[in-house]
Every structure is written in structure tokens, then in C-alpha cells.
Structure 1
Amino acid sequence: MADGVRFGVLGPVVAEGDGGPLDLKGPRHRAVLARLLVARRRVVPVARLVADLWPEPPAGAVGALQTFVAALRRALEPDRPPRAPARLLVTEGPGYALRTEPDTVDARRFETAVTDAARLPPGQALDRLEQALDWWRGPAYAEFADEDWTRAERARLAALRLNAEEQRAATRLRLGRAAEAVPDLEAHVTAQPGREEAWRLLALALYRTG
């Protein structure tokens, strides 16, 4: 059922139903799904999808796109009766949209969790941040890292992840758990040496651990 489909973009793009991972077919099928997920429920015109999928679109590009969409619909809504309208991957106006709910996409759950953590007491906030950071399986939209259409969203999510890592470190310090913060902060500043807040937190954690 479409209601049970969950999507992961914090790493390679995946989709899971109640019975486990869904077969997303070939790389262009996955690219269509990823492109619609990047759009965050907005309609992506057919012409835009074709341009994003093919640097030099072939003569039958629109027909091929329709084939990919039909296959994705079967994968996402296997119980949908014949001729019944799709409820998840929908045709609207000049293109297609993926009508996901916020809690069915890991990136959107991550954003919500990090926002919620800022309003929670430190102990609960740390648990929430740990859970949210564990959802990352690699760089966002990993297999589409070279595509122009993922660039802005990948950068936005990467920045949110870095902020969440620093928020977790700051929360550990508030809880008096400086020793736990040091290893992650050392790895953090090694990977991101320009992060001034991370250096500040590391200096504070090292000071408190003596």
C-alpha cells in the first residue's frame, strides 16, 4: 500500500514498504524517483525531468519517462486496482509529483527531529539527536552526487547534518559528558576544519576533560 511506503535519501535512495525494500528497477527509474523526492511534493514538469535525466534527450525520451513512471507506480502501489488513479506518484498539470507525507521521508524526519531537539531538555535532546544522526547511511542522494539537480538539496542537508553534530556535542557538554564529545568533535574538525563552532566546542571539551 502507498500509505506504508517510506523513502530514504540520507545515503543511497531507497524505498521500503511494509514487506521490506521495494524493487526500484533500473538507474533511470531511481533517478526519476530521486528527482521527485528532491522536489519535495512539488510538480516537476515533464520537460524538466527529461532534461535532467538525459544530457542529450533521445527522440523517445518522453515515452521512456512515461514507462519509468508506470513501473515506479506499480512498485510503490502494487495493490492499486487497474485504472484507479495513483495516490502517491501523481500526474498533475504539466508533470509529475510525489505526494509524500513528511514522516515518510528520512530527510524530512531528520529536519523535524533536529528542530524538536532544540526545544527539549538536554537528556531528551541528546537522545533525539543521536537517533536522527543514526538515520544517515552516507552522503544524501549518494548515487546522484554528480547531478546538478541534487546539488542544492545535498548541500542543504549536509549543512543540517553538520549543525546537528555540533548541537549534539554542545548537548553532551551541557550534560557534563565532555569525554564522550571529544572523539566525535576531533573527527568533525578533521573533516571540516573551517567549522569555528566545532573548534570552540572541542577546545571546551578538552579543557573540561583535563
Structure 2
Amino acid sequence: MTDEPARRSRGGRPRDASRDAAIVAAALDVLSEHGYERMTMDQVARRAGAGKATLYRRWPSKAELVAHAVAQFDRTPTLEDLPDTGTLRGDLLALMRPQTDEDDRRALAVASGIASLLSAEPALADAAGTALVEPFVASQRLLIRRAIERGEVRDDVDVDTVAHVTPSMTAFRLVVQRKPVDVDLLARLVDAVVLPACGLRPGEHRVGP
């Protein structure tokens, strides 16, 4: 005999990535329903159908689990990931419009749960703020630059500032005002602020110089 079985035993089972994904999804659900302060590892374990020991082997604390879960939102988009309707307004509205009412409710609930981290766990504030704002800023930055390239938007627009408008207002409403955000509100921000900042009126579609 060799000592290979013993080595496998000491090392334990290989980590199951699909199990991790189920636990992360459960953590986001519990975070969205209860907020960070009232969220517990027991709740996440029950939701994921996992033993609490399994969670603690992967993430020694609630803070580390939530930090990992929230980091899943920090994804850099590409133009291939984004809508292309032919107009900046259409692109922005398509970006904000959920596929179903359930998608809308869950996205807003998760955003509210992430927002609860900002005051409850200062050590996670940067991660929470990044997850709430940066992916949406990056998406809008790409859409505005594409509109410039196709001649719809003038090329002297301050792209970075304009791209921050709706994500920052969304975070302000969730975190400071503690009010819900819906697609109608986001559409009003696009029409009243973003498009005028780009030199456009709602419904206007300009091509070429």
C-alpha cells in the first residue's frame, strides 16, 4: 500500500465550485431579505441546503462570505454584453429594464441588501460601494462612447461624469433616502439629466456630425 489514500483523506474532498455558487446565491438572497445586520450564517446554510460547518470551512466569518458574494457583482462589461438598439436612449433603457418583474424585484432587493453594508460594516463599505456603482458606470461609459463613435453624441461630452449619474443617484436613493428604485425613476433620470448632458432630447436620434 502507499500513503496516497491518507494524503487524500488529510486534504479532504475537492472544493465543489457549484456548491460555492449555491451558497453565494443563498447569501445574496438572505442579505436582500434581512439586511447585513440581521443576516446570519444559519439562515444562509438553511437556504443553501448546506451544513453551517461547510460555510465556515469556506468563509470563516459572515463578513468574508458577504465580501465574496458582493464581489460577484464587480464584473467589467464588454460591448458584446450590452444592448444595441441604435440609439443611446434605447440602449440605456434596455440596460436598465429587467427581463421579468421577478428579476426587477430581486435586483432591487439585492441592491438594498448591499446598501445595508455601507453603514453596518465599514470594512466592507468599499466593496459594497463598488458593487453598487462601478459595473453600471462601466456599462454606461461604453454605451456613451459607442454613441459618440456613431455620431449620435458630440465628442466633447464628459463621458465619465455622465456615466456616473444614474448609478450614483440609485445608490443615493437606496442608501441615504432608503427609498426603492424602479425603472420609471431611472428612465426619468435618463431623459431629464443624461440625454441633455449628451446634447440630446428624449426621442432625438442624430447620426453623423
Q: Could you tell me the TM-score, scaled by structure 2's length? A: 0.39
* Structure richer in helix, relative to its length: 2
